Amino acid sequence: MQETRLDTARIRAARRVIDPIFLDTPLYRCEAMEPGLGCAVSVKLETANPVRSFKGRGTELVAGLLAGQGSPAAVCASAGNLGQALAWSGRGRGLDVTVVASRFATTAKLDRIRALGARLELVDGDHEMARDRAAAIARHEGIRLVEDSLDIETCEGAATIGLELVGTRPTFDTVLIALGGGALATGVGHVVKACAPDVEVICVQPLGAPAMTHSWHRRHVVTTDSTNTIADGVAGRRPIAAVLDDLLLVADDAVLVREESIIAGMRMLFTHAGLVVEPSAALGIAALLEDRDRFAGRHVATIVCGGNVDVDAYRRWVGATPLHG
Amino acid sequence: MQETRLDTARIRAARRVIDPIFLDTPLYRCEAMEPGLGCAVSVKLETANPVRSFKGRGTELVAGLLAGQGSPAAVCASAGNLGQALAWSGRGRGLDVTVVASRFATTAKLDRIRALGARLELVDGDHEMARDRAAAIARHEGIRLVEDSLDIETCEGAATIGLELVGTRPTFDTVLIALGGGALATGVGHVVKACAPDVEVICVQPLGAPAMTHSWHRRHVVTTDSTNTIADGVAGRRPIAAVLDDLLLVADDAVLVREESIIAGMRMLFTHAGLVVEPSAALGIAALLEDRDRFAGRHVATIVCGGNVDVDAYRRWVGATPLHG
C-alpha cells in the first residue's frame, strides 16, 4: 500500500489517549438479519457511549492535544455528531467549544450540543456554509479550527475502530463504511489495508450526497451544488483533496444507495437487531439490500456509526408499514 | 457479609470461560435522560451481543462445563432469553439443547430459539409449568436440567456483570437490578457487596409478578397464583429458597413498580438513549420514575438486561403518545 497520511503506530498510540468509554465497542453477528440479506453480517456498534456516535474517538485526541498545549478554545462545523463529541471531550478538559451547524440539522443533535455546554451557532444554509463560518470564527478569534476528516486526529480516532475490526478471528470478507467527509473511511480503511489487506473496503454514500463517491471514481475532487438525503451525517458537497488522496489508496470501491434503501436498512436494524440508528449508520445495510448477489455468502462487517435521531422523524422512517422490513 | 452460595474468586475465573463477546459491555452515563429523572444515570448495556440479553454469560459457563464432561444434551425452561442463550452456547459446543417455554412467551424469543437450532417445546401454561415440564424431560431423558438462578453457573455468569460495575471510577451510589428468579440480583449483588459494600443494591420487580419481592420482605418463600405483567423475563410465581437466602444477604431493598412505569421507562430509554429494551430491562428506570425523591442527586447504575421484544408490542408500548415520555 502506498502511504496515506495515517500511521498505524500513531493509531495504536491513540488508544492510550482516548477515554476507554469510546473504545472496544461491541462487534457481533446479527444472525436475525441474515436471512433477509443473504450473507453473514456483523455490526460494529458505535452508538453505546455518551455521545451516541464514533466521533468521540477523534475528539478525544483533538481535545487532549489542545489541553496539552494550553489552548483554551476550539471551533468546529458539524452536522451534529462531531459537535456533540467535541463538546463532550472539551467539557472534560475545560475547553470552550463553539459548534457551527446548519439550522436544518437534526434537532436532537443540536439540543445535545447545547446541553453539553458548547456555544452553538446556526447558519441559514447547509453544512458547507457551516464549514465556512467555523473557519471565519477561528480566524477572527484566533482559536483552533477542528476540521473533520482533514485534521489527522479525526481520522486517527476513527481508525482505532479499524484496529478493533482487524483484531478479531475470524476476519471478515468485506467492511462496509459510511462515506461522508472521509475520516471514518480513510481511518478504518488505512488500518484494514495495513493489517488485513485481503479484506475488501467498500464505502457507501447516499445517491443524494454523492460528491466524495464521484470524486473517488474520477480520481479528482468533484463538488455538487446541493444534497438531498436524510443521511445528514454524510451530506457534504465539497470533498477535501487530501482526504480523497487517502481514500484512493485504501478503498476498493465506493457505491451509492437510494434513500428507500437507507430507510429499509434502518428498519431492518430496528426490527431484527433492536438497534436505533441514524440514517448514515444504515448505509452499509442499504448497500447489502441493493446488491445481494455481490455479497451472497460473504461475511460482511458494517460500522453502525451513530444513533442520534429526532424521534419523530425516526418513527416516520421506521414505523411505516411493512412492519417487518 | 455472610456467605452466599457465590464465591468472588470463582466469578473472576468465570470470565476466562465466557466468550468475550458477552463481557465488558458498555457502561456509560445517559445524560439526556437525567433531567427527567433528577439523578445521574448510567446504563450497563447487555443487549449488544448475539442473543440480546445478559444470559449468555451464564450459559457459556453451563455449556462449557457440559462439554468438558462429555455431556451431549441439556434442557431448560425459559421465558425466552435463557433458552436463546443456551441454544447459542450449546450450538458452539455441539450440545443438543431443548428449551421448554410457555406458548404465551414472546414470539421473537421463540423464533430465535428455533433459529439457533434448539428443540423448542411449548406448554399450555405459564413459566412455572414450563419449569415442571423441563424437569420431567430431564428425568425421562437422563439429561442435564439447567435451572436458572438455582444452578450456580447462571448466578456466576450474571455476577461477572458485577465485576464490571465495581471496577469503574467513580463508583455508583446505587445499583438497580431487575428481579425475577434472582440469578442477576444475587450474582451482581454478591459482587457489589463483596467489592464495594457501600453501594446500595436495590432489586426491582413488577407489581404484577411480586413473589420474590414479597419473599424478600417476609424473609421466607411466598408464592403467588398468577402473574400479570408485560415484563415476561421476570414473571415467576415460585421463588427458589436457596436463591432467596442469597438475596437476603445481598439486597438492601426490593421494590415493586407499576406497569405504566415500566412502559414509561421503555419509552424514556428509546427517546432519550436510543435503546430498544424489553420490559424487564426498564424496571430500574421505572423505579427511578416512581420514587424521584429517594434517588434525587444520586448516581444510579441500572442494568439493561435484555432487548428481545416483539416489534408490534414494542411499537404499542413505546409509540403511544406522549411522544417524549
ipTM computed for the complex: 0.96
- Helix A183-195 crosses helix A241-250 at what angle (to 10 degrees)? 30
- Judge whether B9 is closer than 8 Å to chain A, CB to CB: no
Looking at CA atoms only, how far is residue B219 from chain A in angstroms? 38
Q: Is the pLDDT of residue A26 over 80?
A: yes
pLDDT above 70 coverage of chain A, percent: 98
B26/A25 Cβ within 8 A: yes
- Judge whether A47 is closer than 8 Å to chain B, CB to CB: yes
Q: Is the pLDDT of residue B197 over 70?
A: yes
Per 3-state DSSP, what percentage of chain A is helix, strand, and coil (rounded to 5)? 45, 15, 35
Please tell me which of the candidates B24, B45, B274 has its beta carbon nearest to residue A276.
B274
Q: Which CATH architecture has domain A56-146?
A: 3-Layer(aba) Sandwich (3.40)
Residues on chain B touching A308 (C-beta within 8 angstroms) = 274
Please tell me which of the candidates B28, B47, B323 has its beta carbon nearest to residue A50.
B28
Please tell me which of the candidates B274, B307, B311 has its beta carbon nearest to residue A52.
B274
The nearest alpha carbon in chain B to A112 belongs to: B32
Report the pLDDT averaged over residues A100-121. 98
A24/B274 Cβ within 8 A: no
B45/A48 Cβ within 8 A: yes
Asked if residues A281 and A196 have their Cβ atoms less than 8 Å apart, the reply is: no
Pairing verdict, β B253-257 and A40-45? unpaired
How confident is the model at residue B322, as a pLDDT? 44
B49/A26 Cβ within 8 A: yes
Give the confidence band of A323 by pLDDT, cuts at 50, 70, 90: very low
**Residue with cell string 458505535:** A46
Q: Is the pLDDT of residue A324 over 60?
A: no
Residue A263 or A324, more confident: A263
* Phi-psi category of residue A108: left, alpha or beta, with phi > 0 → left and psi -120 to 50 → alpha: alpha
Closest-CA residue to A45 (of B274, B283, B315): B274
Please tell me which of the candidates B27, B30, B319 has its beta carbon nearest to residue A315.
B319
Residue B113 Cα distances to B55, B57, B74, B119, B180, angstroms: 13, 17, 14, 8, 20
Give the residue from B111, B276, B277, B308 with the most A CB atoms within 10 Å of its CB, the best one to mutate: B276
Give the confidence band of A163 by pLDDT, cuts at 50, 70, 90: very high
- Judge whether A323 is closer than 8 Å to chain B, CB to CB: yes
B322 DSSP assignment: S
Give the confidence band of B243 by pLDDT, cuts at 50, 70, 90: very high
Residue A302 Cα distances to A45, A159, A243, A265, A307, angstroms: 9, 14, 21, 12, 14
E-strand ranges in A150-247 read 174-178, 200-206
What is the distance between the alpha carbons of residues A233 and A242, in angstroms, rounded to a whole number? 20
The nearest alpha carbon in chain A to B112 belongs to: A32
Rg of the Cα atoms in chain B: 18
Asked if residues B5 and B28 have their Cβ atoms less than 8 Å apart, the reply is: no
Give the residue from A25, A269, A276 with the most B CB atoms within 10 Å of its CB, the best one to mutate: A276
How confident is the model at residue B320, as a pLDDT? 56
Looking at CA atoms only, how far is residue A10 from chain B in angstroms? 25
Residues on chain B touching A307 (C-beta within 8 angstroms) = 274
How confident is the model at residue A322, as a pLDDT? 44
Q: Does A35 sit behind a cis peptide bond, omega within 30 degrees of 0 on the bond before it?
A: no
Residue A115 Cα distances to A32, A58, A210, B33, B34, angstroms: 36, 20, 32, 12, 11
Report the pLDDT averaged over residues B95-113. 98
Write the pLDDT tens digit of every residue in B275-302: 999 999 999 999 999 999 999 999 999 9
Report chain A's mean pLDDT, rounded to a whole number: 96
Q: Is the pLDDT of residue A320 over 70?
A: no
Asked if residues B75 and B141 have their Cβ atoms less than 8 Å apart, the reply is: yes
Report the pLDDT averaged over residues A170-186. 95
Q: Which three cell numbers mark B250?
A: 445481598
Report the pLDDT averaged over residues A108-129. 97
The nearest alpha carbon in chain B to A115 belongs to: B32
How confident is the model at residue B65, as a pLDDT? 96
Asked if residues B282 and B177 have their Cβ atoms less than 8 Å apart, the reply is: no
Q: Which three cell numbers mark A245?
A: 488522496
For A321, phi and psi rounded to 5 degrees? -65, 155
Looking at CA atoms only, how far is residue A234 from chain B in angstroms? 20
Give the confidence band of A168 by pLDDT, cuts at 50, 70, 90: confident
- Judge whether B49 is closer than 8 Å to chain A, CB to CB: yes
Q: Is the pLDDT of residue B170 over 80?
A: no
How confident is the model at residue B324, as a pLDDT? 41
How confident is the model at residue B61, as a pLDDT? 98
The nearest alpha carbon in chain B to A21 belongs to: B28
Domain segments of chain B as ranges: 8-53+152-319, 56-146
Residues on chain B touching A319 (C-beta within 8 angstroms) = 315, 319
Please tell me which of the candidates A26, A30, A50 has its beta carbon nearest to residue B31.
A50
Report the pLDDT averaged over residues A212-227. 98
Select the CATH number that applies to the domain covering A8-53+152-319 from these four: 3.60.20.10, 3.20.20.70, 3.30.930.10, 3.40.50.1100.
3.40.50.1100
pTM of the predicted protein model: 0.97
Amino acid in the structure at residue A159: A
Residues on chain A touching B32 (C-beta within 8 angstroms) = 112, 115
For chain A positions 274-303, those within 8 Å of chain B (CB to CB) are 274-276
- Judge whether A9 is closer than 8 Å to chain B, CB to CB: no
Domains B8-53+152-319 and B56-146 share a fold: yes
The strand pairing partners of B200, in sequence order, are B174
The strand pairing partners of B98, in sequence order, are B75, B119
- Judge whether B115 is closer than 8 Å to chain A, CB to CB: yes
Residues on chain B touching A107 (C-beta within 8 angstroms) = none
The nearest alpha carbon in chain B to A34 belongs to: B115
For A34, phi and psi rounded to 5 degrees? -70, -40
The nearest alpha carbon in chain A to B276 belongs to: A274
Report the pLDDT averaged over residues B12-20. 98
